[in-house]
Structure 1
Amino acid sequence: MSNFRKLLVWQKAMLLTTKIYTDTKKFPKEEVFGLTSQLRRSTISIPSNIAEGLGRDSNNELIRFLNIAVGSLFELQTQLEIAKNISYLSEEKFNNLYEDSREVERMLIAFLKKIKGSN
C-alpha cells in the first residue's frame, strides 16, 4: 500500500497520538522527561511504524514493523495505567484513552493476521 494515510488503523493511531499529546500537557512539569516523554514516544511509534512498514518492499518487513507497533501500543497501555494509578489521569480520561488504544490494538492484530494469511 503506497498511501498509508488511507489506512483506517493508521488514522486511528494518529488520533490516539494527538489525544495523548493533548492530555499529557496537563501532567506536572517534573514529568516532562519522565512519564510524559514515555507516553508520547510510545504513542508516536505506533503510526510511525505502521507507515514505515507499509513503505517497505515485502510483507515480512511489514509484519516486522506492525509487530513493533503492537509492542509500542502495549507500552502505551502500561504507561496509561501508571498515569491513572498516580492520579495524572482521571478514571474517565483513562477509560477513554484505554478504549481508544484497544480499538487500535484490535485493528492492528486483524491487519497482522490478514498480512500473515497472504504470505
Structure 2
Amino acid sequence: MSFKFEKLIIWQRSMEFGEEIFQVSQNFPKEELFNRVSQIRGASDSIALNISEGSILQSKPEFKKFLGYSIRYLAEVVTCLYKAKNRKYITEKDFKKIYEESYFLMNHIIAFRNQIK
C-alpha cells in the first residue's frame, strides 16, 4: 500500500534533493542558521511537499498549480545556492553539482506538468 505521489519519480528525486541540501547547508556558518540555512532547507523541502500535496484529491489544474509551486521553490533554492557560493559557504564544485541536479529536477517537473491534460 502506498500513496500515489510515492510512485512519482519527481517526488522521489525531490526527496533526495532535499536531503542533499540539508547536508550541504550543515556547513554554513552558525550566524546563517536562522537566515540562509532555514530558507534553503525550507524551500528544498517544499519542492517535495507541494508535489505530494498537489497529487492527493486535487483536480488536474490544481495539481499543475502545485507543481508550479515546486518549480518556484526550486528557483528559490538555486538563488540561495548562488548566495552560498558567493559568500564562500560552498565550493564551486559543490555549487555546480547541486546546480546541475536542480536544473535536471526542474526540467523533469516541467515535463511532468506538461503531460497533465
AA matched with 2:13:
K
Query: 1:56, CA displacement in angstroms?
Result: 2.8
User: Which letter maps to 2:115?
Assistant: K
In structure 1, distance between residues paired with 2:52 and 2:110: 16
Task: Return the offset for 1:103.
Answer: 0.9
The one-letter amino acid paired with 1:110 is A
Within the alignment, does 1:68 sit opposite 2:69 as a pair? Answer: yes
1:1-119, aligned counterparts within 5 Å?
2-115=3-116, 118=117
CA–CA distance in 1 between the matches of 2:57 and 2:27?
Answer: 37
- Once the 2 structures are TM-superposed, how far is the Cα of residue 6 of structure 1 from its aligned partner? 1.0
The runs of at least 4 aligned residues of structure 1 exceeding 4 Å deviation read: none
What is the DSSP-based 3-state SS (H/G/I as helix, E as strand, rest coil) of the residue aligned with 1:87? coil
Q: Which amino acid aligns with 1:31?
A: E
Deviation of the 1:10 alpha carbon: 0.7
| Structure 1 stretches lacking a partner, 5+ long | none
How far apart in 2 are the matches of 1:113 and 1:79? 27
In structure 2, C-alpha distance between the alignment counterparts of 1:26 and 1:74, rounded to whole Å: 21
- Supply the AA of the counterpart residue of 1:88: Y
SS in 1 for 2:96: helix
Distance 1:37 1:21 in 2: 10
Query: What is the deviation of 1:36?
Result: 0.5
Aligned partner of residue 34 in structure 1, secondary structure: helix
Structure 2 gap ranges (5+)? none
In structure 1, what residue type is equivalent to 2:105? V
Q: TM-score, normalised by structure 2?
A: 0.95
Report deviation, 1:57.
2.7
TM value normalised by structure 1? 0.93
RMSD over equivalenced CA pairs, Å: 0.8
